[in-house]
Amino acid sequence: MTLLRNDRPTAEPTAHSAGSADRGIPDATVARLPLYLRALNALADDGVATCSSGELADATGVNPAKLRKDLSHLGSYGTRGVGYEVQYLSYQIARELGQTHTWDVVIVGAGNLGTALSTYQGFGTRGISIAAVLDDDPAR
């Protein structure tokens, strides 16, 4: 059985594909977006509604000016003197990274690792849906 083929359809554009290339987002900026997203998600979990570029920069270890420049590539999401709305900016970065789409995945191998992955609840909150678990051992 062939599970993966080279002629499979392409997925929705992500930050590394045509969408970001059209927008002219530098690779270094794209590489920092997941860092910003993790920090924003942590702030949201703590109940923070808005944050300044300085606060977000401190949380990520990035220079505040670089952070503002990076975010300017995505659009105008901050308000001078107020900062960024955490939920909205988090969504915009997730959208740019292709994380607002649900991705169906297949786990090949139902051993210890495959079973652990298939029961992990954290995938659902990140847009990953386990479509199937395959194994060559019929007992699994």
Burial class (CB in 10 A: 0-12, 13-18, 19+), 19: middle
**Residues 99 and 126: beta-carbon distance below 8 Å:** yes
Q: Which domains occur in the chain, in start order?
A: 18-96 (1.10.10.10), 103-134 (no CATH)
What is the predicted pLDDT for the residue at 129?
Answer: 94
Q: What is the mean pLDDT of each run of 10 residues along the chain (140 residues)?
A: 41 45 82 96 96 96 96 88 94 90 93 95 88 92
pTM passes above 0.85: no
**Residues 107 and 134: beta-carbon distance below 8 Å:** yes
Q: What is the Cβ-side half-sphere exposure of residue 76, based on CA atoms within 13 angstroms?
A: 2
What is the predicted pLDDT for the residue at 127?
Answer: 84
Give the residues across from 84 on adjacent strands. 51, 78
